[in-house]
Amino acid sequence: MTSIKCEETAVRGESAEQCARFALHELLATEQQYVEDLSRGLERYGRIFEDQTTLPIGLQGKQQVLLANVAQISALHRHEVLPLMLQHQQHLEKLFDRWRELLERGLFYCYVVFTASQRASLLLYDTNEPYFKHLQIKLGDPLGIRSFLLKPVQRIAKYPLLLSKFIEAFYNNREVISKRLFEVACRLEFRLRELLDTANQSDLLNDINHFNAFNILCANNFITVGEFLVNDVTLRRNYSCKLFVFNTCLIHAEVTGKKLLYRGKFIVPDVSFNAKSRSFVLCNKQRECEFSCNPGTIQKWEAIVRQLLERYAMVTRCTSNSDPTEKAISKVDYESAATLPVEQTTDADAWLFVEQDVSRRTTWYTES
């Protein structure tokens, strides 16, 4: 009986790869090309910063602004993603499971950082376009650096479409495809779309005056953003705002035309959530804001804040059970990651840090 079941599983596995062979071929071929393109682009355009004297003044010292974290993305795909695809191309269920594990571990968060950095990168390109056009001819690059800088965003947008092709092929051949494989593919496709949405939302950080999106996202993991009409008790007025959620804090910024003005922050765990019928209140000892929204949105944001607090509690428990030296290091790391600017400043001083006073911690849930 066991041998028959194993044979059925093997046949289903072969059928899955056969049914989706065109989608699999496209996935592997485009992934290999993507890895090669990133490697070639980094070699070409990273080299120009070796001798700063040959660069226009506006480009000198701007390698991180121009290329952002492309090297990190390139390493991820060369050493993790492509080998994974090649290793499990004959076992799609395992491939999709392992791929989703990479997403769950946060390895693809580099795309969120890159997307938020792209606006500054392309602006730097536009400012120095004559230089880059000349460089393109000199290097014999038919597409140029602008095309190279767009590749990561294009790739992360392509993944959900590729997974949709797999899912369509599985559905059309559902009589020979296991339910487990179909579910695994759907879960991966959902996580990839979720990643794409988060990456696109992170670009809104560039609208906040005097905020360096790259620095923010390297120190704090961005989660989501929402738009509300807020009653700011501290400022004693109402205004439209966007509420940004990070793993260590929530910040809100006033909408003023196309720009956002930073108004305040709530650092985890020093924040309370008060659910009302048509709004919710975030507050600590220094600040209180009431965000108007429908009941469904209230539940969503209550879950978000609860998850932030639960994560903090879990980290605290883990460090309290470890070696005292390790605990001290972990606490410093967590609190330094939770720091955010306390006021708007010039670009050079965009990050001002404040110490967290544990004695002022006020974390609770209430309903009214």
Q: Domain containing 289 — which CATH number?
A: 2.30.29.30
Whole-number Cα distances in Å, 301 to 10, 86, 156: 45, 40, 27
Tell me whether residue 212 is in a domain: no
End-to-end alpha-carbon separation of the chain, Å? Answer: 60
The residue from 151, 183, 206 where one domain ends is 206
Whole-number Cα distances in Å, 267 to 22, 87, 155, 336, 367: 48, 43, 34, 11, 21
The residue from 206, 230, 248 where one domain ends is 206
Tell me whether residue 214 is in a domain: no
Tell me whether residue 98 is in a domain: yes
Is residue 73 within 8 Å of 110, Cβ to Cβ?
Answer: yes
User: The pTM is what?
Assistant: 0.83
Tell me whether residue 199 is in a domain: yes
Looking at the structure, tell me whether residues 73 and 131 fall in a common domain.
yes
How does 254-270 read in b/e, with b if 16+ C-beta sit within 10 Å? Answer: bbeeeebebbbbbbbbb
Whole-number Cα distances in Å, 57 to 67, 146, 210, 212, 238: 17, 19, 22, 21, 44
pLDDT at 351: 32
pLDDT at 326: 45
DSSP letter string, 243-276: EEEESSEEEEEEEETTEEEEEEEEETTS-EEEE-
Looking at the structure, tell me whether residues 125 and 148 fall in a common domain.
yes
pLDDT at 322: 64
Q: Digits of tens for pLDDT over the chain (368 positions)?
A: 444 344 444 444 457 778 899 999 999 999 999 999 999 999 999 999 999 999 999 999 999 999 999 999 999 999 999 999 999 999 999 999 999 999 999 999 999 999 999 999 999 999 999 999 999 999 999 999 999 999 999 999 999 999 999 999 999 998 889 999 999 999 999 999 999 999 999 999 999 998 888 888 888 899 999 999 999 999 999 999 999 999 999 999 999 999 999 999 999 999 999 999 999 999 999 999 999 999 999 999 999 999 999 999 988 888 777 655 443 333 334 333 333 433 333 333 333 333 333 333 334 444 44
Rounded CA-CA distance 152/154 in Å is 5
Rounded CA-CA distance 260/257 in Å is 8
Looking at the structure, tell me whether residues 96 and 232 fall in a common domain.
no
Is residue 346 within 8 Å of 210, Cβ to Cβ?
Answer: yes
pLDDT at 120: 95
Number of domains in the chain: 2
Domain, as residue range, for 258: 220-367
Looking at the structure, tell me whether residues 178 and 251 fall in a common domain.
no
CATH number for the domain spanning 23: value is: 1.20.900.10
Kindly report each contact of residues 181-190 with a partner whose C-beta sits within 8 Å and lies 24 or more positions away, as own/partner. Answer: 181/12, 181/16, 181/92, 181/93, 181/96, 184/93, 184/96, 184/97, 184/100, 185/92, 185/96, 187/96, 187/100, 188/96, 188/99, 188/100, 188/103, 188/163, 189/160, 189/163, 189/164
Is residue 250 within 8 Å of 244, Cβ to Cβ?
Answer: yes
Is residue 273 within 8 Å of 280, Cβ to Cβ?
Answer: yes
Tell me whether residue 211 is in a domain: no
Looking at the structure, tell me whether residues 230 and 140 fall in a common domain.
no
Rounded CA-CA distance 311/166 in Å is 34
pLDDT at 339: 38
The residue from 183, 206, 229 where one domain ends is 206
Tell me whether residue 213 is in a domain: no
Looking at the structure, tell me whether residues 62 and 137 fall in a common domain.
yes
